[in-house]
Structure 1
Amino acid sequence: MQVVPELETGGAEQTTLDVARAVIAAGGKALVASRGGRMAARLENDGGQLIALPMQTKNPLRMVGNAARLAQLIRREKVSIVHARSRAPAFSALWAARATGTPFVATYHGVYKAKSALKRWYNAVMTRGDLVIANSEYTRDHILAEHGLDPAKMVTIPRGVDLERFDPAQVSDERVTELQRAWGLAASDARTKILLAGRLTRIKGHLTIIEAAAKLKAQGLSDFVILFAGDDQGRVEYRQELISAIAAAGLQQEIRIVGHCSDMPAAYLLSDLAILPTIVPESFGRAAVEPQAMGRPVIASSHGGTTETVVGGVTGWLAAPGDAEAWAVALRQAIALGPDGRARMGKAGAERSRRLYSVDAMCAATLAAYERVLEAHS
């Protein structure tokens, strides 16, 4: 049983579905305790079962209630392993696992900051089980430094990309054309198309890109269009801040907020390159690997897990986080490289991502970690 706050969008949520599918393929039963969301239908279509609980809550009383319900579920369904993927639900999951004597695994999906002893204790719930999975070497180093965990209780399993889904050969021209229309792009639009895929939140660096684009336009370069594809998830004020910043910079023709996209493979094919300008380090950064699998070069912030997944000068560029001038330079270089140069770089990225970051490899390693924990309990 995996435990995650919700199934709306995001890397942890996608990994939850990937592992659930692998468990089912291996002959097991995949339960996911979560508030649910738009990805729940995919879980159930794959043969998984959603256990609808308010796992997103941070209310202590509701967390205790969740723990009691999870313990009942574990006993009734004969759950053999509990896997938590976020801190708040991890408390309920850990309590339930201990109450039932069930092995507990947690994946450290992000580099959680701690400015107090209380926050460090809160974060450490992810290290209190039988095994901790780090989603990158960057995350592993953080866990060791922050929590002093025994390295023998850890394993690094990079996130995987569904190479069947993110395969250019599997995306029809019709899908790309449909998305092009939905985003208001003319078929004759020959501008360099740059995709920033990610929810509309400040840490994703949208404002850095608006400032960088303004610098490019001031230098006489405007033959590009930047697409912000992502859900605001209720962050209406931030969305409006972006709209105002775009208007103030006179970039209404160069930057578009296109909303949530359910067909990311088509989005990457529609684009000429992808960008990941996070101002806070990504622990892994699936949005830097997926476009590479689709043959698109990437510009990413030079911190966190993306320094492992993007090879500067080979599969893309690395730019200083939050530095609009550095991003303007990288964007100019990517645009100037032209279609043929970007295609060569995209090919290198595709070969590397398919070698290192397949979802099959990630799932196989996760199932092997489960076996390791179960053998230790037997």
Structure 2
Amino acid sequence: MSLPPDFTLLQVTPELETGGAEQSTLDVARAVVRAGGRALVASRGGRMAARLAADGGELIPMPVHAKNPLVMAANAARLIDLIRRERVSLVHARSRAPAHPALWAARITGRPFLATYHGIYAARTPLKRWYNAVMTRGALVIANSDYTRDHVMAEHGLDPVRIVTIPRGVDLERFNPDHIKPDRIAALAASWGLGSGDTRTKILLPGRLTRIKGQLLIVEAARRLAASSRHDFVILFAGDDQGRTGYAAEVRRAIAAAGLDASVRIVGHCDDMPAAYRLCDLAILPTLVPESFGRAAVEPQVMGRPVIASAHGGVTETVVDGETGWLAPVGDAEAWAAAIARALDASPEVRAAMGAAGRLRSTRLYSVEAMTEATMAAYARVIEARAR
């Protein structure tokens, strides 16, 4: 899709460490640059900032993650100056805290504003509902799944005309099984302490170490499997604690108490997730709260691996039970142990067939190209409406 002449996009994202919203920020920035525009990202930065720069995007360091009202007011002033100085064409917010100053700045400078609802935000008080509703105050709301779209409409009474579903996309060039050479897999296996002769079924739980991701649930499921004399698996928790050292320590204690040190491992942050998915035989997503989309359920399918996921939220749209993976009851350790056992008992041929079905479906529905094309169409729609 062609962009208006001299198009400059400003995305406002709390940080660029890791996560679905952050990856989508980079994907859209790269697409805008390739289409001949400029892509600015106001953020406090993080480990993904180098990738933004490599793709031609520009990081504008700013404490937009802050929720302090005084800092937010200062951010609004900074954004007003930035929008005017860089002749920003459109402002796209990707989280609530930065959305407030971004909305103020867009209104004062007369620039169109839209936001992407990347998560399901709880609102137990009118004040919190007002705080969350900033994501709906622009010209358009982008929902990352139909599940998210339904939530936004029910929570905020939004006119269906003002919301569009654009699922997150996966970079099919980066996540391409044919590009993963054996030496990459071997190097990753060695760094995770897996020997070349380890024939156990390898199960990957990708995601940061936080209670809602369900690591403790999986430790208990693994304990039940071990109690039934099953030792033909190794479960790998790939993700860092992002400062949640107390929870990480709790998970380690649970692993040790269950005698699972050889079967369940915390391997930390992984920079080569395509190789991680190919190293493992299947992925799991045992979230305790609904994922609005769940990129971690789509990426392994793109890499040809079946998935076991909690049966709620956006993953019920991306995982086809019995065809590309399995859906398991939320928070039920016994049911999760049974689901893992079912996957372990499936023959390599059956798992390969499910992985192939998942790859075929996911590459058709969830490519980064489809996501960025739809996002730029949303930009064009907002800009044209403003011009009229």
- The SS at the match of 2:186 is helix
Residue 165 of structure 1 corresponds to 174
Give, in whole Å, the separation in 1 of the partners of 2:265 and 2:188. Answer: 14
Residue 279 of structure 1 corresponds to 288
Could you state the TM-score of these two structures normalised by the residue count of structure 2? Answer: 0.97
Alignment partner of 1:114 is 2:123 = yes
Size of the aligned set, in residue pairs, is 378
Residue 209 of structure 2: which of 189, 200, 213 is its match? 200
Give, in whole Å, the separation in 2 of the partners of 1:19 and 1:252. Answer: 41
Residue 36 of structure 1 corresponds to 45
1:213-224 to structure 2, matched below 5 A, reads: 213-224=222-233
What is the CA deviation profile of residues 101-152 of structure 1, one whole-angstrom value per residue up to 9, with x for unaligned ones?
0000100000101111111111100000000000000000000100000111
Residue 270 of structure 1 corresponds to 279
Residue 153 of structure 1 corresponds to 162
RMSD: 0.5
Residue 302 of structure 1 corresponds to 311
Give, in whole Å, the separation in 2 of the partners of 1:149 and 1:377. Answer: 19
Opposite residue 296 of structure 2, the aligned amino acid is A
Alignment partner of 1:104 is 2:113 = yes
Give, in whole Å, the separation in 1 of the partners of 2:312 and 2:132. Answer: 21
Give, in whole Å, the separation in 2 of the partners of 1:249 and 1:237. Answer: 19
Residue 141 of structure 1 corresponds to 150
Residue 354 of structure 1 corresponds to 363
Alignment partner of 1:290 is 2:299 = yes
Give, in whole Å, the separation in 2 of the partners of 1:154 and 1:223. Answer: 47
Give, in whole Å, the separation in 2 of the partners of 1:167 and 1:96. Answer: 40
- The SS at the match of 1:30 is strand
Residue 27 of structure 1 corresponds to 36
Q: Please, which runs of 5 or more residues in structure 1 have no aligned partner?
A: none
- The SS at the match of 2:347 is helix
Alignment partner of 1:245 is 2:258 = no
Give, in whole Å, the separation in 2 of the partners of 1:217 and 1:180. Answer: 23
Give, in whole Å, the separation in 1 of the partners of 2:153 and 2:334. Answer: 34
Shift of 1:321: 1.2
Opposite residue 42 of structure 1, the aligned amino acid is R
Shift of 1:203: 0.4
Residue 368 of structure 1 corresponds to 377
Shift of 1:219: 1.0
- The SS at the match of 1:220 is coil
Opposite residue 307 of structure 1, the aligned amino acid is T
Q: Please, which runs of 5 or more residues in structure 2 have no aligned partner?
A: 1-9
Query: Percent identity of the aligned residues?
Result: 71
What is the CA deviation profile of residues 207-263 of structure 1, one whole-angstrom value per residue up to 9, with x for unaligned ones?
110010111111111110000000110111101000000011111110000000000
- The SS at the match of 2:123 is coil
Shift of 1:339: 1.4
Give, in whole Å, the separation in 2 of the partners of 1:326 and 1:74. Answer: 52
Alignment partner of 1:323 is 2:332 = yes
Residue 184 of structure 1 corresponds to 193
Residue 259 of structure 1 corresponds to 268
- The SS at the match of 2:363 is helix
Alignment partner of 1:12 is 2:25 = no
Give, in whole Å, the separation in 1 of the partners of 2:181 and 2:61. Answer: 35
Could you state the TM-score of these two structures normalised by the residue count of structure 1? Answer: 1.00
Give, in whole Å, the separation in 1 of the partners of 2:58 and 2:219. Answer: 42
What is the CA deviation profile of residues 333-369 of structure 1, one whole-angstrom value per residue up to 9, with x for unaligned ones?
0000021111010000000000100000000000000
- The SS at the match of 1:226 is strand
Residue 343 of structure 2: which of 334, 346, 353 is its match? 334
What is the CA deviation profile of residues 31-53 of structure 1, one whole-angstrom value per residue up to 9, with x for unaligned ones?
00000000000000100000000
Give, in whole Å, the separation in 1 of the partners of 2:292 and 2:141. Answer: 15
Opposite residue 5 of structure 1, the aligned amino acid is P
